[in-house]
Amino acid sequence: MQRRLLLFLFAFLTWISYPLAGQIGMGQWRTHLPYQYASLVETTDDRVFCSTTGGLFYYKLDDHLLEKISKVDGLSDNGVSAMRWSSELETLILAYENSNLDIIRNGVVVNIPDIMKKQITGDKTIYDIYYVDKIAYLSTGFGIVVVNLEKDEISETYLIGDNGQSLKVNQVTSDGTHLFAATDQGIRKGLLSDPFLVDYNSWELVIDIPGFGGAFGTIAFFEDHLFTSSDDPADEQDQVYYSNGSGWSDYPYFTGSLCYEILNQGEFLSLVDDTAAHLISDDFLIVQQLFSSRPRSASLDYNGDLWLADYGLGLMTNQGGGTWGITPNGPYSTSVFDMESSGGVLQAVVGGISASWNNLWTVATLETFQDEEWTWTHSWADRDLITLAVDVDDPSHVYAGSWGFGLLEFKGKEFSSYNEINSSLQTILPGPYVRIGGVALDPHGNLWMTNSNVSEPISVLKPDGTWKSFRADNLISSYGALGDILVSSAGHKWVIVPRGNGLFAMDDNMTIDDSSDDIYEKVSVVDKYGKVITNDVYSFAEDHDGNLWLGTNQGVLVMYSPYRLFVDGNIYAQEILIPRDDGSGYADPLLGTQVVTAIEVDGANRKWLGTSGGGVYLVSEDGLEELHQFNTSNSPLLSDVIADICVDGLTGEVYFGTDKGIISYKGEALQGSPAYSNVVVYPNPVRETYEGPVAIKGLLENTTVKITDMGGNLVFETESLGGQAIWNGTNFNGERVATGVYIIYLSSADGELSHVTKVLFIH
């Protein structure tokens, strides 16, 4: 068994406060997850934990602080499927959706990844956790897993299905003599004192309860009685029963349709149905209720206040006498398909398509991250936004393309739509069904877009509001899917033709309304000998040198000087060959075994590469040097499946859109400035308690930076990463510089512009 001890960064039992929101430091991470879809709530001695589809957060009962917590803060994973607190053991156990397990006590996280790593056919989700003395019983998709909390290790596994088969266990409880398991095939019980519970013959089916062979979702022991719920296979009307000494009776005060949870809360029993959380006293009467639209879980704090997890409203409570909710700010959904940043504002579309380019029917939603806060706008009549473009002069002005519902134009919270009626866009008959696969703005404000499987597959919306479409010599009209479109620095339009169909390119010679000089090319991705390397292109980006980088099913390829397609009539791609470190003289293509789903170029012309299962890579300007590799094993990355990457050129923050939501990392590179008119050194002064890097911002791209002491002695020299240079505060010998003023000399790459500034070090 692997064990990993982590010092919990927010000191789980001493509860050191960590800011809920705000800028992060260089090299740090933060999550951007939705918190309104709550599914679990658990109270400890001084706080309330709430698990949602996006993440985990807690509310402190004493000082009312609200804190998000995740893998960034020291947890071993993201996505909590079950959690339980033991006051006697001062222990919180978190089970994750991937079956990883954390035991948290005394400010330390003990990770038990055994179930996650074990090769088990079928469901191995952990559905619930139940404590008996120093044992935790985990209800899983295959049986009961016993965790010894003295040794923090798994001691046994009970396969309690017929003939020792795997059986989904939804919840476990005990009356002190027996262990009862609510399963998908009735209630099973075994003697706690039986040393052979690992033998399925030690378990018997409870047959005196109505529907004894069916699914039972919950079970709890309260005031010498068992309470349980029988699940309706049609999800229309569950039944709640309690043991009466001679059999089972219907619980008369269950008036809901579905029962989500029954838990012993000490002096009370909580029952959560589809209308409310109900608190039941020792005489089995309901003494308190907390209503919400979609309740899922409830817990009682030490003050007797009820807390409720609502799937849509987040964390709710009746604390103080009234009903109110508290939920951290976050995006609307974990689903993200495309992101763009402009002016320090991030825009993202919630949507998607299937692998075969069919609809998922996701409500059209634009999410906006601005001034450290997420907001969102819905178009309830539309679906499946998969692409967007942001106006560089007004980041609240966004165009978003839908797979089937045309084009949406957002201006703040207001939006309008374009389809076959009010634009040059065309529908697939019998329609209306306008499929937009990519949108891109050119420097003149023209919006270019792909329109799939129609006779005029390229359209443009001009700044004056007029439209024009292009037949494109019928080269791509028959394709069922057209993807992203890119406007190159040469003014050419490049299009991904998905599903193994390569690329399309056009040159309108800067005369949109004159089609007579247009050139159209259907492009295969070939090497210099004309042999096809691959036509499965998933992503592309133009770098600062005008080269076209392609993300394919065979790693990364580059088309150098792609404008030559319209000069020579052909173009070829090259692999980035990384020499092996084994002395063989051989080299391997950059990410040649991976599907590269996203490419983003940062301010230093470095390439961020996202993959379909290998996480994220940052490579040097030429791609030959790997600078970072982030995956779920070595970083807080939410998932190794990357949908999109976006770099905020103003802050250097890099956003990773994954299949489990958005997480960001503060990078070192910023976009270059046009002049040295707003150079900032941060921090300044550098105090004795500061141990991080010194950032010099507001630079021209590729600025030469030289730092000297007051005597003119050179202590550091570097070249900026785009518009920012980083100094670790040491001299060439790696020693921390002494107290004093240091002069920073800046000069542009061509030597025509220069600037001088200062920084003060204090020891």
Residue 535, strand partner residues: none
In a domain, 76, yes or no: yes
In a domain, 528, yes or no: yes
pLDDT tens string 719-737: 999 999 999 999 999 999 9
> Residue 102: is its pLDDT beyond 90?
yes
Instruction: Please answer whether residues 349 and 336 qualify as being in contact, where contact means their C-beta atoms are separated by less than 8 angstroms.
Output: yes
How sure is the predictor about 739, in pLDDT bands with cuts at 50, 70 and 90? very high
Task: Look at the chain and count its residues.
Answer: 763
Domain co-membership, 451 together with 569:
yes
pLDDT tens string 323-340: 999 999 999 999 999 999
Secondary structure of residue 71 in the 3-state scheme: helix
How sure is the predictor about 430, in pLDDT bands with cuts at 50, 70 and 90? confident
Q: How far apart are CA 714 and CA 712, in angstroms?
A: 6
In a domain, 54, yes or no: yes
In a domain, 595, yes or no: no
Domain co-membership, 570 together with 684:
no
Domain co-membership, 570 together with 690:
no
Q: What's the Cα-to-Cα distance from 74 to each of 108, 109, 154, 615, 637, rounded to whole Å?
A: 9, 8, 22, 19, 13
pLDDT score, position 24: 85
Q: Which of 184, 251, 247, 244 has the alpha carbon at shortest distance from 213?
A: 184
Residue 704, strand partner residues: 719, 747
Q: How far apart are CA 377 and CA 397, in angstroms?
A: 13
Burial class (CB in 10 A: 0-12, 13-18, 19+), 60: middle
Q: How far apart are CA 239 and CA 258, in angstroms?
A: 8
State percent of the chain over pLDDT 90: 91
Q: How far apart are CA 188 and CA 649, in angstroms?
A: 59
pTM: 0.92
Pairing of strands 286-291, 467-470: unpaired
Domain co-membership, 691 together with 550:
no
Domain co-membership, 555 together with 687:
no
Q: Mean per-residue pLDDT for 452-457?
A: 96
| Largest Cα–Cα separation, the chain | 95
Number of H helices, E strands in the chain: 2, 66
pLDDT tens string 173-183: 999 999 999 99
Q: Which of 152, 223, 214, 149 has the alpha carbon at shortest distance from 182?
A: 214
Question: Cα–chain-centroid distance for residue 116?
Answer: 20
> Residue 6: is its pLDDT beyond 50?
no
In a domain, 188, yes or no: no
pLDDT tens string 357-405: 999 999 999 999 999 999 999 999 999 999 999 999 999 999 999 999 9
In a domain, 297, yes or no: no
Domain co-membership, 562 together with 685:
no
Q: How far apart are CA 556 and CA 553, in angstroms?
A: 8
How sure is the predictor about 13, in pLDDT bands with cuts at 50, 70 and 90? very low
Pairing of strands 458-461, 447-451: antiparallel
The CATH number covering residue 438 comes to 2.130.10.10
Out of 84, 118, 152, a domain closes at 118
Q: How far apart are CA 167 and CA 215, in angstroms?
A: 11
pLDDT score, position 4: 39
Q: Mean per-residue pLDDT for 191-196?
A: 96
pLDDT tens string 472-504: 999 999 999 999 999 999 999 999 999 999 999
User: Which two tokens mark 614?
Assistant: 């290998």
Placement of tokens 């039944």 in the chain: 239
pLDDT score, position 582: 85
pLDDT tens string 250-276: 999 999 999 999 999 999 999 999 999
Lowest mean pLDDT among 281-295, 426-440, 446-460, 631-645: 426-440
User: What one-character DSSP code corresponds to residue 311?
Assistant: B
Domain co-membership, 376 together with 503:
yes
pLDDT tens string 658-711: 999 999 999 999 999 999 999 999 999 999 999 889 999 999 999 999 999 999
Instruction: Please answer whether residues 694 and 729 qualify as being in contact, where contact means their C-beta atoms are separated by less than 8 angstroms.
Output: yes
Domain co-membership, 343 together with 484:
yes
Instruction: Please answer whether residues 1 and 114 qualify as being in contact, where contact means their C-beta atoms are separated by less than 8 angstroms.
Output: yes
pLDDT score, position 22: 57
Q: How far apart are CA 382 and CA 350, in angstroms?
A: 12
Out of 576, 600, 629, a domain closes at 576
Asked if the bond preceding 685 is cis, omega within 30° of 0, the reply is yes
Q: How far apart are CA 619 and CA 607, in angstroms?
A: 5
The CATH number covering residue 730 comes to 2.60.40.3080
In a domain, 414, yes or no: yes
**Full residue range of the structural domain in which residue 46 is found:** 1-18+35-118
Q: Is 245 left (phi over 0), alpha (psi -120 to 50) or beta?
A: left
Residue 370, strand partner residues: 373
pLDDT tens string 137-174: 999 999 999 999 999 999 999 999 999 999 999 999 99
Residue 494, strand partner residues: 486, 505
Placement of tokens 């095939």 in the chain: 185
The domain total for the chain is 3
Mean pLDDT of the chain: 94
Out of 545, 576, 607, a domain closes at 576
Rounded to a whole number, what is the distance in angstroms from the first to the last CA of the chain?
Answer: 47
In a domain, 308, yes or no: no
Secondary structure of residue 65 in the 3-state scheme: coil
pLDDT tens string 56-95: 999 999 999 999 999 999 999 999 999 999 999 999 999 9
